[in-house]
């Protein structure tokens, strides 16, 4: 590893759920190169450590932001920052969703929980360049209504179809209940001319990608974003190995055609 983090100031902080916040960041001095949807940064919490976090907004979609779920030492530290605080950022790392390959085709986004974070800049980009794409569908699943991130914003997206479903409804929830894949029936897309973009917990990714394939979406047009331990993001620490893939270099976004056989091996 070589790169040193670049100081970024928290210019806005938006609580999303009980354990998740979005931090909008601006460089204190020199800026990093622009991020593309799907890429991630190594984000440093002073005295705690550094973790990989996807960009939930990129420079081209209104400024760099990260949406972080507090699950341990480093993510706790980052979620606890206040406006004005400084964090360190290295990046951009990893490949992108390659949304541009979907020009002229229908777009189908499937997100589970915080998996919506890395998909948000893709959705915003697709909606911004709406004419370049066919129909745009966004299917979102969460455990409970309280686990939905960017909830207000979702309603404002001018998609062809937006579906939101939860596993466990709460009082006052009038939306769908059940797994995210059951929304597929209502999405409007031509399977043989569709690009799908999927992120969420691994079981959800498998289920969604399999169903998409069953619906007739070509497996190499189903792009899934995977998570593995990453210490360096520069291809040197060895932690993100996933069979033949060094995920920080050739991922985190992988075609389902490549991911499926690997995900079918236990404990790979």
Ligand X SMILES: Cc1cc2nc3c(=O)[nH]c(=O)nc-3n(C[C@H](O)[C@H](O)[C@H](O)COP(=O)(O)OP(=O)(O)OC[C@H]3O[C@@H](n4cnc5c(N)ncnc54)[C@H](O)[C@@H]3O)c2cc1C
Return the residue matching tokens 């973009």.
197
The contact set with other proteins (CB under 8 A) reads 1-7, 28, 44, 46-50, 71-72, 84-88, 95, 227-229, 231-232, 234-239, 241, 243-246, 249-250, 254-255, 257-258, 261-262, 264-268
Q: Which does 96 bind (CB under 5 to 8 A by kind): other proteins, ligand X, none?
A: none
Question: 63: how many CB neighbours lie within 10 A of its CB?
Answer: 13
Is 248 annotated as contributing to ligand binding? yes
The residue at minimum Cβ distance from ligand X is 72
Identified binder of ligand X from the candidate list 111, 252, 254, 263, rule CB under 6 A: 252
Is 24 annotated as contributing to ligand binding? no
Identified binder of ligand X from the candidate list 21, 32, 65, 74, rule CB under 6 A: 74
Size of the site for ligand X (CB under 6 A): 22
Identified binder of ligand X from the candidate list 52, 91, 92, 113, rule CB under 6 A: 52
198 part of the interface to ligand X, by CB under 6 A? no
Which two structure tokens, joined as six digits, stand for 6?
Answer: 């670049």
Tell me how far CA of residue 206 lies from CA of 13, 99, 235, 264, in angstroms. Answer: 32, 21, 26, 9
Rounded Cα distance, 16 and 55, in Å: 15
The string over 151-182, giving b where at least 16 C-beta atoms fall within 10 Å of a residue's C-beta and e elsewhere, is eeebeeeebbebbbbbeeeeeeeeebeebbbe
CA nearest 49: which of 81, 30, 72, 20? 72
180 part of the interface to ligand X, by CB under 6 A? no
**What is the DSSP secondary structure assignment for residue 179, as one 8-state letter?**
-
Task: Check: CB of residue 10 under 8 Å from CB of residue 23.
Answer: yes
Task: Check: CB of residue 130 under 8 Å from CB of residue 158.
Answer: yes
Q: Which does 102 bind (CB under 5 to 8 A by kind): ligand X, other proteins, none?
A: none
Q: Which does 65 bind (CB under 5 to 8 A by kind): other proteins, ligand X, none?
A: none
Is 240 annotated as contributing to ligand binding? yes
CA nearest 105: which of 221, 194, 216? 194
Rounded Cα distance, 98 and 264, in Å: 25
Q: Which does 36 bind (CB under 5 to 8 A by kind): other proteins, ligand X, none?
A: none
Task: Check: CB of residue 167 under 8 Å from CB of residue 144.
Answer: yes
Binding mask 208-237 for ligand X (x = CB under 6 A): -------------------xxxx-------
Residue placing its CB nearer to ligand X in the complex, 135 or 239: 239
53 part of the interface to ligand X, by CB under 6 A? yes
Site of interaction with ligand X (CB under 6 A):
40, 49, 51-54, 67-69, 71-75, 114, 117-118, 227-230, 252
Q: Which residues participate in the annotated binding site?
A: 232, 237, 240, 248
Q: Which residues participate in the annotated binding site for [2Fe-2S] cluster?
A: 232, 237, 240, 248
């Amino acid at each position: 590893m070589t790169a040193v983090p670049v100081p970024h100031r928290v210019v806005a902080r938006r609580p999303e759920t009980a354990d998740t916040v979005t931090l909008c960041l601006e460089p204190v001095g020199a800026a990093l190169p622009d991020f593309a949807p799907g890429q991630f940064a190594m984000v440093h919490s002073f005295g705690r450590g550094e973790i990989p976090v996807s960009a939930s907004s990129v420079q081209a979609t209104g400024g760099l932001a990260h949406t972080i779920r507090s699950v341990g030492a480093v993510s706790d530290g980052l979620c606890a920052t206040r406006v004005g605080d400084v964090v360190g950022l290295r990046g951009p790392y990893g490949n992108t969703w390659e949304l541009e390959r979907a020009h002229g085709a229908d777009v189908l986004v499937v997100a589970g929980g915080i998996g919506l974070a890395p998909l948000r800049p893709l959705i915003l980009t697709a909606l911004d360049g709406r004419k370049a794409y066919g129909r745009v569908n966004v299917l979102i699943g969460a455990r409970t209504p309280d686990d939905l991130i960017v909830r207000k914003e979702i309603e404002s997206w001018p998609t062809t179809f937006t579906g939101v479903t939860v596993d466990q409804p709460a009082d006052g929830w009038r939306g769908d209940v059940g797994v995210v894949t059951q929304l597929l029936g209502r999405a409007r897309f031509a399977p043989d001319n569709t690009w799908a973009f999927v992120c969420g917990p691994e079981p959800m990714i498998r289920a969604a990608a399999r169903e998409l394939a069953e619906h007739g979406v070509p497996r190499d047009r189903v792009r899934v974003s995977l998570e593995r331990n990453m210490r360096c993001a520069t291809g040197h620490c060895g932690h993100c190995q996933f069979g033949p893939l060094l995920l920080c270099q050739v991922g985190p976004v992988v075609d389902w055609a490549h991911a499926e056989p690997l995900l079918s091996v236990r404990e790979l």
